[in-house]
Amino acid sequence: MITRNLPDTLDIEKKLRGYLFSIACGDALGSPVEHLTLEQIKEKYGEKGILEVPRDSLWTDDTQLMLVIARGALRGAEFELPELMDYIAEELVLWLDEPDLGAGPTSRGAALRLKEGIHWSRSGIVSKTCGSLMRVGILGFIYRNKPEKLVKAALLSGRITHLHPVSDAASIAGAYAVKLALDGLEPGEMYKPLLNVTEGISQEFTDALKKSYEIAHSGMEDEDALKELGQGWYADETFALAYFCTLRYPNDYKKAVQTAVNITGDSDSVGSVAGGILGAKLGIEAIPVSWIEALKEKEKLEEIVLPLLEKYFQVSGNK
């Protein structure tokens, strides 16, 4: 039972729901257009692209793997990080029995290595794709009030599957941006903290982050800017594209996510990362009700809210 200041509890619950459902909605909106070019998206959905989450939408591996990390955190976030990683590794092996929702070869390959008995410290595969970034934001919620542990947890959890400096930096940034959003920082105010927390890890990631910030504050149109930032298949581009959308539309979740998914590239991952940051900042009220209602398995998100709240307060030392 949660027995602490009611307004504070209600506020963090709204932000947690905002994060969980915004990840899923951004994922579901981007799913139908992933792998399509922007020209193909416009041809199919009109000049403005895809704008609404289709009815009975099922999210992809982005949300599925975020829930894997969440389940690992529920089992062991209060313990030392090696034990938490043991739990996350176990959950990744269990995930192999779930429906294949489009996971990339790196995440699946690393999970298979875990299943074979390879320790999580050696299971990762050299790759800078965005599989570690897209799932890690939930750790930004769990360890919001433990920033040093947050950085280490994000880094280690990413390395279970992805071994590359770009993936390291993106995993940290993805989780830390959610923490900053929960703290109430505007996306523009996140820039220096994100630079600081990823400093010296990957010049590629640093360059992408700086480019995202600079272009967002230029006069370049969204479509041209997004093309300039890449396609999102690699983690530095994924974060740069998502961050750009939050910078352009810091108080408009719907517009930010619509912008994020209408690209030539990894639409669902960019949409879910951008959505997660703004959902954590703005709360559940910012997400269109029709989008939430369109989700096919929204009860899976709902049922994890209270356990995650309990874990949050336990980890924060306020239980």
pLDDT at 302 over 80: yes
User: Which distant-in-sequence residues (6+ apart) come within 8 Å of 50 by Cβ?
Assistant: 29, 30, 32, 33, 41, 44, 258, 261, 262
Q: Indicate the helix (H) or strand (E) that contains 193.
A: helix 191-197
Q: Over pLDDT 90: what percentage of the chain?
A: 96
Q: What pLDDT was estimated at residue 5?
A: 59
- DSSP secondary structure code for residue 284 in this structure: G
Coil, strand or helix at 175: helix
pLDDT digits (tens, 9 = 90+) for 112-128: 999 999 999 999 999 99
Query: Considering the entire predicted model, what is its pTM?
Result: 0.96
Task: Write out the two tokens for 252.
Answer: 């408009």
Q: Given pLDDT bands bounded at 50, 70 and 90, which one contains residue 9?
A: confident
For all residues of the chain together, what is the average pLDDT? Answer: 96
pLDDT digits (tens, 9 = 90+) for 157-191: 999 999 999 999 999 999 999 999 999 999 999 99
Q: Given pLDDT bands bounded at 50, 70 and 90, which one contains residue 3?
A: very low
pLDDT digits (tens, 9 = 90+) for 20-36: 999 999 999 999 999 99
Q: What pLDDT was estimated at residue 4?
A: 54
Mean pLDDT value across residues 222-243: 98
pLDDT at 2 over 60: no
User: What does the alpha-carbon distance between residue 165 and residue 156 come to, in Å, rounded to a whole number?
Assistant: 12
- DSSP secondary structure code for residue 220 in this structure: -
Q: What pLDDT was estimated at residue 317?
A: 81
Mean pLDDT value across residues 222-237: 98
CB-CB contact of 180 with 166 (8 Å): no
Q: Given pLDDT bands bounded at 50, 70 and 90, which one contains residue 319?
A: very low
Task: Please give the residue that has the higher pLDDT: either 319 or 60.
Answer: 60
Q: What are all long-range contacts of 39-45, with beta carbons under 8 Å and residues at least 24 apart?
A: 39/264, 41/262
pLDDT at 6 over 90: no
Please identify which residue in the block is written with the tokens 């581009």: 237
Q: Over pLDDT 70: what percentage of the chain?
A: 97
CA-nearest of 308, 298, 297 to 12 is 308
The ranges assigned to domains in the chain are 13-313
* Amino acid at site 85: M
Q: b vs e for 280-311, b when ≥16 Cβ sit within 10 Å of the residue's Cβ? A: bbbbbebbeeebbebbeebeebeebeeebbeb
Coil, strand or helix at 4: coil
List, in sequence order, every residue forming a beta bridge with 319; answer none if it has no partner: none
pLDDT at 266 over 80: yes
| Residue 35: CB atoms within 10 Å | 12
pLDDT at 263 over 80: yes
The CATH code of domain 13-313 reads 1.10.4080.10
| Residue 95: CB atoms within 10 Å | 19
CA-nearest of 117, 156, 127 to 139 is 156
Kindly write down the DSSP assignment for every residue of 157-169, as one continuous string: HHHTTEESHHHHH
CB-CB contact of 178 with 140 (8 Å): yes
CA-nearest of 242, 223, 217 to 232 is 242
| Residue 193: CB atoms within 10 Å | 17
CA quadruple 208, 213, 217, 221: dihedral, nearest 10: 40
